[in-house]
Amino acid sequence: MASASARALRRIQKEIADLNANPIDGISYEFVEDNLFNWKCSIKGASDSPYKGGTFYFKLALPEDFPFKPPAVTFATKIYHPGINDEGSICVPILRDQWKPSITLATVLSVIHEKVNNPCTDDPFEPEIAAQLKNDKAAFLTTAKEWTKKYA
What are residue 4's phi and psi, to 5 degrees? -60, -40
Q: List the catalytic residue out of 91, 94, 103, 141.
A: 91
Q: How far apart are CA 15 and CA 11, in angstroms?
A: 6
Amino acid identity at 84 = I
- Helices H / strands E in the chain, number of each: 4, 4
Q: What is the DSSP letter of 30?
A: E
Residue 80: closest CA among 149, 8, 143, 11: 143
Q: How far apart are CA 101 and CA 29, in angstroms?
A: 21
Residue 120 annotated in active site: no
Active site residues: 91
